[in-house]
A and B are shown apart, each in its own frame.
Chain A
Amino acid sequence: MQPSLEQKLWMYETMVLSRRCEEQIAKIYMEGKTPVFNMANGTIPGEMHLSDGQEPVAVGVCAHLDAEDIVTATHRPHHQAIAKGVDLDRMMAEIFGKATGLSGGRGGHMHLFDPAVNFACSGIIGQGLGPAVGAALSRKMQGKPGVAVAFIGEGATNQGAFHEALNLAAVWNVPFVCVVEDNAWGISVSKAASTSVPRNDVRAASYGIPGHYVEGNDPYRIHEVAGEAIARARAGKGPSLIEVETFRLAGHFMGDAEGYRPEGEKDALFEIDPIPRMRQRLLDDGDASDEQLSNIEKKAEERIEQAIRFARESDEPRPEDALTAVFAQA
């Protein structure tokens, strides 16, 4: 079943918002890092993992989620955070390391937490899975609504945590969905070189749960498959595993020369960039006019500019605040 028109427009808007976010971060990230690149310098110091190209997964899944549902994300979390409704101003401020950031600068871009929308991250591969299963268990035990979705990359399927968490979720029959973003590369090692099966959906059989593989980085198809899995979880019928074929248009991190990619791969990927493709599809299907979509794009750009303004204008944390918030506040 296709998404509703409202869902389609939300998905497009959110994909554009995420892309504009990454484009702006990429630009600002280089402030203070030229002519000599030093990760420690600049407006945004540290590692930076951008999600360009992977937006369809985030929107296809999160279109089915409300604030009460739980998402655990990875070291590459911006598209998922934006699609889950994380406070954009505070997220940007966190990425900049400002006092107004989600954690006041203690976490950074790999550790985005927004309890208001039940969003959490771990920068360690596969380690969001356990907490997502636990949150799903919590809802089941409390008799409260809510589904937990753990986003992971395809590289994480070779972590022990993947096996343990999927087995546990299945044994306890909790409302949990594991979504694997298969961007084909674990930093520089290809999926073919690291993974014993071409598609991870077959691994679902090991846990007696449904497994799905979605080809083509197609937001509508992702929306459909995720919708079934999430509805199944909500109905108390247990967890599912979904792997989605996607790709990253950026390096693993900013500064990655991507010498491992075969020649021409990157150019070919830009040809199938999911955002212009979805735009064309909306036009072709008569779902939106060019003017309507331009309007959405302009609004997204303004929204990101606002978040960046908020981040730039915010104060830096007091250095000594590093010593606070180690334990829960009384």
Chain B
Amino acid sequence: MTQSNNRKLTIARAMAESVAQEMRTDDRVFVMGEDIGELGGVYGNTRGLLEEFGKERIRDTPISETAFIGAAVGAAQDGMRPVVELMFVDFFGVCFDAIYNLMAKNIYFSGGSLKVPMVLMTSTGGGYSDGGQHSQCLYGTFAHLPGMKVVAPSNAYDAKGLMTAAIRDDSPVVFMYHKRLQGMGWLGTEPGATVKTPEESYTVEIGKAAIARKGSDVTIVSLGLGVHHALKAAEKLSEEGVEAEVVDLRSLVPLDRDTIRESVARTGRLIVVDEDYHSFGVSGEIIASVTEHDISVLKAAPRRVAFPDVPIPFERGMEQFCLPNADKIIAAYREIEAG
């Protein structure tokens, strides 16, 4: 193993490194968004790029998401490979037409004669009292609508490999990164996201989940920050002899249903952890993927630990009450045990 493989990176640095490596080898790749130049991205994921590539290719935009995401679609259709940032996923409300009616549909409307090779990177998640318009995940909203791939890494290794795969993909990819995994101290970062990350360029296949922890008694499926809650819950359960398997989805679209089904077939028990809203979302989809395939593998009713169906409250106690955590996952397992 080379020394570089022992180097640990934050997700923010891993994203920037991937983009820089692609930009060095492909003139068509460029970045645009709000505060991604001089500032290096509010969440650090474009830091250092302006210095290396200059203002033409690292392009600060006006606060005009409809125009610049629409422009990314037009540039992608014209042969460029834009990486465009929607600073907070919550801001999709001002520009969703460019995303789901243009970016996601133009390949289909052209009968496949067009390519739309663009990455829409956007920050997700709460837990730091930013209130109800700056804390959402909205995974299900994006994954629900056809025509865009959706990825959400839980660690720097996956973040770098998924970003490289996303930039090289000829279809639009939504890259959803969780703010509390970015390695930005001021957001109260999760240390488990900062992992060994090779310096050389590599890809992580979009649409392939990972087994983050092996186990035989219960399958905990999650993504992003939820994977770290699941791993902590699994360690506690292990102390009492219960071995949880943790599936890190990494991609929502395409969804790796095979890995989920295979794991639940072995454990017979399923908990889904999702920081997005409880109803009509990712957690329901994961459960349906198992039950509609083969309900007989389940030894108990599946459980979900998700954000209740309320806007995200500001006050710390109220917000933490609503967010998933390791204790809630353990409580869910107790319910399964109780039958």
The answer to whether B111 and A134 have CB atoms under 8 Å apart is no
The answer to whether A142 and B67 have CB atoms under 8 Å apart is no
Q: Which of B70, B111, B149 contacts A325 (CB 8 A)?
A: B111
Complex interface: chain A residues within 8 A of B30 (CB):
141
- 0 or 1 for each of B62-81: is its CB under 8 Å from A? (1 = yes): 10111111111111111110
The answer to whether A168 and B62 have CB atoms under 8 Å apart is yes
Q: Does B38 contact A (CB under 8 A)?
A: no
CB distance from B207 to the nearest CB of A (A): 11
The tally of residues in B whose CB lies under 8 Å from a CB in A reads: 48
Complex interface: chain A residues within 8 A of B97 (CB):
124, 127, 161
The answer to whether B106 and A134 have CB atoms under 8 Å apart is no
Q: Does A113 contact B (CB under 8 A)?
A: yes
The answer to whether B75 and A134 have CB atoms under 8 Å apart is yes
Of the listed stretches A100-108, A252-260, A261-269, name the one at the interface; the rest are far from the partner chain. A100-108
The answer to whether A326 and B146 have CB atoms under 8 Å apart is yes
- 0 or 1 for each of A172-210: is its CB under 8 Å from B? (1 = yes): 000000000000000000000000000000000000000
The tally of residues in A whose CB lies under 8 Å from a CB in B reads: 44
- 0 or 1 for each of B104-131: is its CB under 8 Å from A? (1 = yes): 0111111111111100000000000000
Complex interface: chain B residues within 8 A of A121 (CB):
109
- 0 or 1 for each of A318-330: is its CB under 8 Å from B? (1 = yes): 0000001111110
CB distance from A283 to the nearest CB of B (A): 42
CB distance from A138 to the nearest CB of B (A): 4
The answer to whether A328 and B64 have CB atoms under 8 Å apart is no
Q: Does A3 contact B (CB under 8 A)?
A: no
Q: Which of A107, A130, A160, A165 contacts B73 (CB 8 A)?
A: A130
Complex interface: chain B residues within 8 A of A122 (CB):
101-102
The answer to whether A102 and B147 have CB atoms under 8 Å apart is no
Q: Does A42 contact B (CB under 8 A)?
A: no
- 0 or 1 for each of B236-250: is its CB under 8 Å from A? (1 = yes): 000000000000000
The answer to whether B106 and A328 have CB atoms under 8 Å apart is no
The answer to whether B109 and A134 have CB atoms under 8 Å apart is no
The answer to whether B102 and A133 have CB atoms under 8 Å apart is no
Interface centre among A104, A164, A168, A327 (most CB of B within 10 A): A327
Q: Does B171 contact A (CB under 8 A)?
A: yes
The answer to whether A134 and B74 have CB atoms under 8 Å apart is yes
Q: Which of A130, A132, A160, A329 contacts B68 (CB 8 A)?
A: A130
Q: Does B292 contact A (CB under 8 A)?
A: no
Complex interface: chain B residues within 8 A of A120 (CB):
74, 77, 106, 110, 114
Q: Which of B28, B74, B82 contacts A132 (CB 8 A)?
A: B74
Docked complex Cα distance between A134 and B82 (Å):
10
The answer to whether A130 and B112 have CB atoms under 8 Å apart is no
Q: Which of A102, A133, A142 contacts B70 (CB 8 A)?
A: A133
Docked complex Cα distance between A328 and B171 (Å):
5
Q: Which of A107, A111, A141, A164 contacts B56 (CB 8 A)?
A: A141
> Residues of A at under 8 Å CB distance from B?
70, 72, 101-104, 106-107, 111, 113, 115, 118, 120-122, 124, 127, 129-139, 141-142, 148, 160-161, 164-165, 167-168, 171, 324-329
